[in-house]
Amino acid sequence: MPSDLEKIDGVGPTVAQKLEESGFRTIEGIAAASVKELTSTAGIGAATAQKIIESAQRLSSVGLVTADQLWHKRQTIERITTSSRELDALLGGGIESASMTEFAGAFRCGKTQICHQLCVNVQLPPDKGGCSANAAYIDTEGTFRPERIINMAQAKTLDPTKALKNIIVGRAFNSDHQMLLVQQIQDNPLFKDVKLLIVDSLIGHFRAEYLGRGMLAERQQKLNKHIHDLLRLAEVHNVAVVTTNQVHATPDVFFGTHWN
């Protein structure tokens, strides 16, 4: 069966396969990509990549739109309750789809607890603050606990067994694996029903692997690509992306420098 990507000018079966293997599986995703991304990940020449992106932009809604078109698109945004009225109010009604939300704080302040709760709450019907949808969870620190999901599901009168089945979990062991899981989740059959993607935590592996000021530029370049991939996933698939980040009082320790 021909790929949808073959609707794009300059994309035949071979190029479509290269694009899909590189993580570009939708016309919208290619329309939002840069020439550098296509040339470096899919092995496509710069001129061909430019032609493919321009064709994808013509086929998709990516690009210039009128304000009323943007307004209608905003009406498709969904919100997930945090189970805290005060926090929901601060967030404008809850966690928004088609966007990325970060929870930052000190160690053991409750960031992972919120992530677990959101994985349950997204499964609630809209009138209860959910989306009647599934969740995906990238666990970088080994802190995902099915037992907490069971407890929280029971508190929301959901079937605990079904609640667990509705969550895709990936344990990331390094930064490259973490970035790969973002693509693998999109390949999972359950992804079509996913409205929430958690990355807990976002930069833990990057901090551990890229030590010293000499590696700061390389770390930031790689991290920027990861964040760009997450933002594109959120916008293209109307998914709420939630990340956590641990705040440190003395960040200089990661650069091998201690100040008095």
Segment 180-201, tens digit of pLDDT = 999 899 888 899 999 999 999 9
- Two tokens at 229? 């991939």
Annotated domain spans of the chain = 4-59, 71-251
CA 140, 254, 40, 62 torsion: positive or negative? positive
- Tell me whether the CATH fold assigned to 4-59 matches the one assigned to 71-251: no
**Percent of the chain whose pLDDT exceeds 90:** 59
204 three-class SS: helix
Task: pLDDT band for 43, please (50, 70, 90 cuts).
Answer: confident
Q: Render pLDDT for 226-237 as a digit per residue (tens, 0 to 9).
A: 998 999 899 889
Question: In this structure, what are the phi and psi dihedrals at residue 132, rounded to the nearest 5 degrees?
Answer: 50, 45
- Say if residue 57's pLDDT is above 90: no
Q: What is the pLDDT of residue 236?
A: 85
According to CATH, the topology of domain 4-59 is DNA polymerase; domain 1 (1.10.150)
Q: Distance between CA atoms of 113 and 143, rounded to whole angstroms?
A: 10
Instruction: For residue 233, give every residue at least 6 positions away whose Cβ sits within 8 Å of its Cβ, in sequence order, or none.
Output: 182, 186, 197, 239, 241
Average pLDDT, the chain: 90
Contact present, 110 and 104 (Cβ < 8 Å)? no
117-136 confidence digits (pLDDT tens) = 999 999 999 999 999 999 99
DSSP-based three-state secondary structure for 199: strand
What distance in Å separates the CA atoms of residue 108 and residue 206, rounded to the nearest whole number?
A: 20
Best CA proximity match to 186, nearest among 4, 20, 28, 14:
20
Please report which helix (H) or strand (E) contains residue 105, including its range: strand 99-105
Task: Compute the radius of gyration of the chain from its Cα atoms.
Answer: 20
Q: Domain spanning 71-251 has what CATH number? A: 3.40.50.300
Q: Is the pLDDT at 260 greater than 80, yes or no?
A: no
The predicted pLDDT at position 251 comes to: 57
Q: What is the pLDDT of residues 15-35, one digit of tens each?
A: 888 888 877 888 888 888 889
- What 107-111 contacts at long range (C-beta under 8 Å, 24+ apart), as own/partner pairs, is 107/246, 111/200, 111/201, 111/244, 111/246
In this predicted structure, the answer to whether residue 259 has a pLDDT above a threshold of 50 is no
- Mark out the alpha helices in the chain (DSSP H runs): 13-21, 27-31, 35-42, 46-59, 67-74, 85-90, 111-121, 146-155, 160-165, 175-187, 204-209, 216-237
